[in-house]
Amino acid sequence: MKALTLKMPVRYAINTVLLALLLLAGSALLSAGVFGRAQTSVIMQIGVYIILAVSLNVATGYLGQLPLGHAGFMAVGAYAGAILWKALPEGSLSAVAGIIFGGITAAVFGLIIGIPALRLKGDYLAIITLGFGEIIRIAIVNLSGITGGAPGLKKIPKYSNFTLVYICVILTCVIIHMFMKSRHGRAILSIRENEIAAESCGVNTTYYKVMAFTASAFFAGIAGTLYAGNQGIIAPSEFGFLKSIDILVMVVLGGMGSMIGSIVSAAVLTALPLFLQSSLKGFNDYRMIIYSLLLILVMIFKPSGLFGTYDFSLSFLIEKLGVKKSAKGEKQDGAKA
Amino acid sequence: MQFLSQLINGLQLGSIYALVALGYSMVYGIIMLLNFAHGDIIMVGGYLAMLAIGAGVAPAFAVMISIFGCTILAVIIEKGAYKPLRSAPRLSLLITAIGVSLLLQNLALLIFSANAKPFPGTSILPSGSVSIGGLSIGTTAIITIVVSVVSMAALTLVVQKTKIGKAMRAVSEDTEAAQLMGIPVDLIISVTFAIGSALAGIGSILFCCRYPLLTPTMGSMLGLKAFIAAVLGGIGSIPGAVVGGFAIGLAEVFVNSVGLSTWTDAVVFGILIIVLLARPSGFFGRPMVEKV
């Protein structure tokens, strides 16, 4: 029995075709007016949260640290992108420029924060990133000349549309996936498994920790810009500690170190409350109670999350199915003979 | 004169931080857990005292109810949420602690709503002032400082002179070796949580007398600042927590008094960051060396 293995170009082709089909299907559904404005906004929010969860997963799942200031990077990206958008003339080129600017600004903050913070680990890292997140929020409130202060930044051009968000989500996932499969990614995983062992094998732990942290901040910044472009108005109170926890719940629930886990739980946890809000009265009062209970119960009974470190691969699935088929074929051949 | 009254003000706030910081420091010293729920236990203590006084209980008993309530709550949390994770990775334990903190906050939000509730502070501590050489000092400030110092002295005695204190020190030094010597580790950990939370209960009453408004999230910022105080002094060290608490309290009051009150929290976190970078083990902590 010969196991079916797909060649790499074939795998890429399959994935590209599937993603393109999804994009076309999504745009077709949207332009056909299947979804109302509110639902379209929800779909875009799902995309934003997928980017946030996948990017936090780099620092939490792959690097094994617990930053609690992810919303801070999101805020930096949102404000940087939105301010550039407001300054530039309208156009799709400005939209892309704003997103890239948001990501890069957040990455710079990630670098500045990461270099000192990542000398610490565990609880100290958690508390210091929480501190930085709060400082960013307080700074945004106080620097009202640039940021609009506590009432928020208004009249942000609404650049975020389905295609843009979709492409950003896909790019984020693909880049992070490829990054994690590269030797840099392997080095980051080795730090998670055992930092001392990794260091003694010649992995420059500080360098890779900062690299993972900066990458995580970069994508959080992109998500922030998209969020600003979807909402049209952003206020510093949205980017508090609880937002960081929201994102953390998604990553933990999906499984730290599993990209498909982050994607699925980000989508479910974003969409479910918004839909349940209308059908189930008072659901929002209980949402955070359910979240916190989920966190505790998942940690006690299934600390690896729902998906563990499992990652979905379409090509792998096809290979599996292919093996079964060819096994059947062999049996039939035998029966004939 | 202005300076002196600010100093007293800072000492009052600092002694509350110190009381709360002790709870963080003890728990961290014994199971290496940043107990995020500690700040929220303070919030629960405040609401308990408010309910008790509202029900017509004598103030002294209301304070007792609040302190016992905090203690029992902490032991329940420890047994229910932290004990099953004793051998789990630290990250899991930390996430659980965040979960417990959120749970307490949101339960309080559901029961008491987000609106701030007035705390009947004046029925517990009399409002008034004593003037010493032209400087008028609020009685609340004096009582707060005295109660804190007495509690901290009592804690030091318990930890240094009693058998249970000796066991606590042994467990924090080396849990496994302590177990081999016949120390009931689980019991000692529960006792540590109980003592830390009793101090938090006292801190809660004193804090609520100073800022007599109760909200479900009041504990989280207080808790964070107290934790920063514990880190500043050197986590796991009792005198460290006290010194750290006073330092944070004074820093906060002086930042406020120069007119930068919107930046206060940022300054406190800034202090934390500088301390962690310059001297991660704090003033009194022993530097940790990781053994392979």
DSSP B213: E
Q: How far apart, in whole angstroms, are the C-alpha atoms of residue B33 and residue A302?
A: 20
Residue A30 placed within a domain: no
Residue A337 placed within a domain: no
The helix (run of H) or strand (run of E) holding residue B285 is none
DSSP A237: G
Task: List all residues 6 or more positions away from A29 whose beta carbon is below 8 Å from its beta carbon.
Answer: A35
- What pLDDT was estimated at residue A330? 47
Task: List all residues 6 or more positions away from A306 whose beta carbon is below 8 Å from its beta carbon.
Answer: A253, A254, A255, A261, A264, A265, A298
Interchain proximity B220–A241, CB inside 8 Å: yes
Q: How far apart, in whole angstroms, are the C-alpha atoms of residue B10 and residue B127?
A: 18
Residue A305 placed within a domain: yes
B152 touches B21 (CB < 8 A): no
Cα–Cα distance list, B18 to A174, B10, B25, B192, B254 (Å)? 49, 12, 10, 16, 17
CATH number of the domain residue A293 falls in: 1.10.3470
Angle at A196 between CA A190 and CA A197, to 5 degrees: 55
A293 touches chain B (CB under 8 A): yes
- What pLDDT was estimated at residue A275? 73
**Cβ pairs A/B, distance under 8 A:** 111
Cα–Cα distance list, A170 to A39, A135, B161 (Å)? 20, 31, 63
Residue in chain A nearest B99 by alpha carbon: A292
Interchain proximity A138–B276, CB inside 8 Å: no
Q: DSSP for A156-179?
A: ------HHHHHHHHHHHHHHHHHH
Q: DSSP for A54-93?
A: HHHHIIIIIT----S-HHHHHHHHHHHHHHHHHHSPSSHH
- What pLDDT was estimated at residue A40? 81
Interface pTM, i.e. ipTM: 0.80
A116 touches B277 (CB < 8 A): yes
* 3-state SS class at B162: coil
Q: How far is A65 from chain B (nearest CA, A)?
A: 8
Total domains, chain A: 1
DSSP B85: G
Pick from A70, A104, A107, A64: which is nearest to A205 by CA?
A64
Identity at B212, one-letter amino acid code: P
Q: How far apart, in whole angstroms, are the C-alpha atoms of residue A124 and residue A129?
A: 8
Residues in chain A with CB shorter than 8 Å from the CB of B224 are 127, 130
Q: How far apart, in whole angstroms, are the C-alpha atoms of residue A185 and residue A176?
A: 9
Q: For residue B129, what are the β-bridge partners?
A: B138
Q: How far is B158 from chain A (nearest CA, A)?
A: 28
B87 touches chain A (CB under 8 A): no
Q: In order along chain B (292 residues), what is the average pLDDT of each group of 10 residues?
A: 81 90 87 87 91 87 92 93 84 86 90 85 74 76 87 89 91 89 92 92 89 86 88 84 90 84 83 80 67 52
Q: How far apart, in whole angstroms, are the C-alpha atoms of residue A10 and residue B44?
A: 60
Residue A1 placed within a domain: no
Residues in chain B with CB shorter than 8 Å from the CB of A68 are 98
Q: Using CB atoms within 10 Å of the CB of residue B211, give its burial: 0 to 12 exposed, 13 to 18 middle, 19+ buried.
A: middle
Tokens of A7: 């060649």
Interface test with B, best of A300, A301, A309 (most B CBs within 10 A): A300
- B-contacting residues of A 14-53, CB under 8 Å? none
Tokens of A286: 């209980």
Q: How far apart, in whole angstroms, are the C-alpha atoms of residue A20 and residue A167?
A: 10
Residue in chain B nearest A295 by alpha carbon: B99
Residue A327 placed within a domain: yes
Pick from B194, B191, B196: which is nearest to B166 by CA?
B191
Residue A96 placed within a domain: yes
Of A66, A128, A134, the CB nearest to B276: A128
Interchain proximity A292–B290, CB inside 8 Å: no
Q: How far apart, in whole angstroms, are the C-alpha atoms of residue B280 and residue A128?
A: 11
Residue A121 placed within a domain: yes
Pick from B178, B192, B165, B166: which is nearest to B83 by CA?
B192
Residue in chain A nearest B275 by alpha carbon: A128
Residues in chain A with CB shorter than 8 Å from the CB of B103 are 289, 292-293, 296
Cα–Cα distance list, A218 to A9, A72, A172, B131, B159 (Å)? 29, 12, 10, 57, 48
Phi, psi of B136 (to 5 degrees): -95, 130
**Backbone conformation region of residue A149, classed left if phi is above 0, alpha if psi is from -120 to 50, else beta:** left
Residue A29 placed within a domain: no
Task: Give the pLDDT of chain A (337 residues) as one tens digit per residue.
Answer: 456 677 777 777 777 787 778 777 777 777 777 777 777 888 888 999 999 999 999 998 888 888 888 999 999 999 999 999 888 887 778 888 889 999 999 999 999 888 887 777 667 788 888 888 888 888 888 887 777 777 888 888 887 788 888 888 989 988 998 898 899 999 999 998 888 899 899 989 889 999 999 999 999 999 999 999 888 888 888 888 888 888 988 888 888 888 888 888 888 888 877 777 767 666 777 777 888 888 888 888 887 777 777 777 777 777 777 766 555 544 444 444 3
Q: How far apart, in whole angstroms, are the C-alpha atoms of residue A290 and residue A304?
A: 19
Interchain proximity A128–B273, CB inside 8 Å: yes
Helices and strands in chain B, H and E counts? 11, 4
- What pLDDT was estimated at residue A337? 38
- Structural domain span for residue A155: 8-22+37-331
B113 touches chain A (CB under 8 A): no
Q: CA dihedral in degrees (B203, B207, B212, B214; nearest 10)? A: -60
